[in-house]
Structure 1
Amino acid sequence: MSRVTVVLLLVASLLSSSLALALPTSGAAAAEERTWVVDAVDEPTSNRWDSVDTGTSVVTIAVGDTVEWQFDRATQGHDLTSLAPTDPWESVWDEPLAEYREPGGEPVRRTFTRPGTYRYTCSLHGTVMTGTVVVVDPGGNSAPTAAPVVTPTEVGVGEAVHATADATDPDGDVVAVSWDFGAGGPAAHTDHAMHAWAAPGTYVVRLRVSDGRGGLHEDDFAITVTGEAEPGEPEPPVDDGALPAIDARVAPATGVAPLSVRFSTQVTTTGSVVPFAEAQEQDADLDGTAVLVRRRDETYTSLLVTGARPGAAHPVHVHEKPCAVERGGSHFRFDTTQGFAEPNEIWPAFTADAAGSSGLVEVTKPMRAGPLAVSVVVHDPTNPALRIGCADLAPGTADLAYSWSFGDGSTGTGADPDHTYAAPGTYTATVTVSRGSGAHAGHGSVADSVQVVVGGTATPPATQPPATVADTTPPRISRIGPRRAVRTARPTVRARVLDSASGIRRKAVVLRLDGRRVPGLSYDARRGLVRWRPARALAPGRHVVRLVVRDAAGNRAARTWRFRVRR
């Protein structure tokens, strides 16, 4: 080998070594990529996504990095759902997210290969649980920065919060500022903005600063609003003006003057469960009835479903928006200043039997639900991030007005007033319910009455028998159903009958379908529940139900309603 050849080989070897030192190997490049952890966090007053690195729901990562969502700090199930872009600087996910995890469940991992701004949410708790992943190319554009100040973070209804972004861009790009105050209204697009809320609750104020070239800065601020809602607060739609079924209630119904009593207007809304949103072929026969009853210091919810997946556990929740609006929106909460959790919500979940039936599911909560409890959503048993069934609860209760006449010359308002009867006597208290605002205000009303017997304070002579008060009040019939179109040819006909004074015997309950008395009627006297299911399929079309009840004193009550069996 010549000396020239040896020299060339040495030079080539040195160049090869230099290049190997200058260029990272694939293993070195992989080592530079990192994983960012985001936790689902449940606390008594809040629910949120929390980045271990940033302490917020926003993480800024490099192309090739991975985000890992963990559920070790969760106390309830959460879904992880990707969001479609709502602003020009947001990005479409390469592969949409639709995952669900129970507390302590396996993490969800996603590696990001393209720069962009990707938003996600827990749709069950979407009013407070949204997050953002900002993916940047290290050699490209620099994201804008901000030093935001939002104050105060605790205000009363109608009091303003001041928000200042103080946004800049290291590349000198013109920045666009967006303040979202979490109340459903339009965003503000100025560096300094003000906002006042019309209703109490916990709100998330979100700042977004964009440089128009893919760079984004985002910050979240939690605001607590206290006090009473202002008049004119937006409420759910009120259907066609129909009014719900009502029942007047009182406790105690008898006593000695002066007698203080607690009245209540029981309001019943119902809905039919139908396949919905992400329903699969196996959910095509999903059918059923949901009932929600509001009364003083209590909300009763029942659900009866057929056509469900046999043997599967179906998560079910009451939601705050109609089925057609944001797939039912988030879970309904009794107290919006508290976090999402089972004690603050209504969960009529069930496990279907071998025939796909839920059986009667009943949930009672020690609080009266507000008007935002408007739908019942059934979730996919294998992935509760998906929603397969929904029932709109109707008629709506958002703008109901309650007017009471207590029978002694006094009047009152509100669903659940208190009253004191000063003198002995038998009084008939009547509540009248109508639409208090909107297009249907003043058009129609429903009323119901309840009797209060007030005795005197004097003790009758021993030789006189105690005075008796004749029972002249008929039984009350409520919670009737079905009342609309049903998909099954063997629907369960149901009602509730109550008579606190004299009681009702089984033989005094008569149910007729299309004029014929039905056999095999079920009557639970303790709970006042009447149920009957036809042994054979009913013909398609309209059917008429009539229920007649007599109490032990001979007082009679009757109720007629109709439903239709779909073809």
Structure 2
Amino acid sequence: GTVIANGNQKPVATPSASPARGIAPLTVNFSSAGSSDPDGTIETYYWDFNDGTNSSLANLSRTYNIAGTYTATLVVIDNQGLSSAKTVAITVSAPNQAPIAKAAAAPMSGVAPLAVSFSSAGSSDPDGTIQSYSWAFGDGTTSALSNPPHTYSTKGNYTATLVVTDNRGLRSPAVTVTITVTNEAPVANAAGTPTSGSAPLAVSFSSAGSSDSDGTIQSYSWAFGDGTTSAFPNPPHTYSKKGDYTATLVVTDNGGLSSPAVTVAITATNLAPVANAAGSPTSGYAPLAVSFSSAGSSDPEGGILTYSWNFGDGTTSTSANPSHTYSTPGPYSAILTVTDNQGDQGTSSPVTVSAQQDPAKLPDLIVSALTTSISGASIDDRHLLVPQCHPGWRGHVSCRSPCRSSCRRREQHILYDGHDSRHHTAGNLVPDCRGRWATLLSAVINNRDGIERNQQYEV
């Protein structure tokens, strides 16, 4: 009830503190608002903080640096000297300590896809409890479970992070665990059908049986050994030229890892072409015109042929069916060589050609001995041939005449070149009994080139 002393009522003390609780350091605003005196005025305010400190202010602020429970007492005194007191309690808590996160994973390495079990066991809060968990797995995915499972589908090095939050909302420092995900290389398998045959050789290639134990095959790379490639899994390819080829296959999986190369050996063969040569006529008098034919020449694979004729007299032709004239008597062998589109060759049996000497051009008189006596009349307008003669030969021809003389060319021996079948046509021999070199022997030399050259000889 109201206390009345000598007719004076006591004042009423109404202390307040804000905040009344909190974490150190805690600053508290104390207020005496609401204190009153029913029959007068409050003249004095006195705060006692129960720690040896006090204040006479009506309203003040005070900071508590140490955790604990404190009481503050407000005493008010009115204008008649009466007083009253009231206490307010302050609770100061120690600062919140951050929780401690611990992260573990098993396994920490392996081949993709790698399933990992994560654990937050050992995480704690020294002054409270853990309220939440936050995992980030390093591949863009997260979890709020305390011990989550997670699968890494591709190779790489990943850093998984854990943060825990306590009951006061304070987050722990992040802790990490490193996960290493490897990739098993894919296995390539290559085959080709057929693996040998005549060019052009069409081959069907196959990658059947290629595999990836920890993923899928994403791409195929074929190199056929002739400078061409393909990215198809089962490509066709034609080898246009003969040769030994090595086709190579490499496959790449979804993790970007490529297989070791595997190979297929391909042999493209070629049969040599067949040359067939004929000529008509194959004998006759020179100059002899012969028509040659390659009819019957062929290539087993049907390739295009080129032709090369050697007529045996130093001349050639690239026509399939050429004509050729042999201008000089003699035996000749004409040979045909054919080449196919793969560069292989075939050679014919020789075509034997006999170009004979025209009898009209044979000599009428052959001087066969080194010394021969002939009459002047016997060689008049006759063809004379001396086969044994050569430069430097000193044979002679005798005439029916009182005098004999050696046949000489002006300043040179004359009867020679029987080896070249030159024909000498003699004129009338007119002996000069004075032994002088006055008598002339006219001769026409018929060379192989068919050109007649007049020369004079002194006898």
Same fold (TM over 0.5): no
Structure with more relative contact order (C-alpha pairs < 8 Å, separation 6 or more): 1
**Normalized against structure 2, the TM-score is what?**
0.25
Structure with more helix by fraction: 1
Pair member with larger Rg:
2
**Normalized against structure 1, the TM-score is what?**
0.21
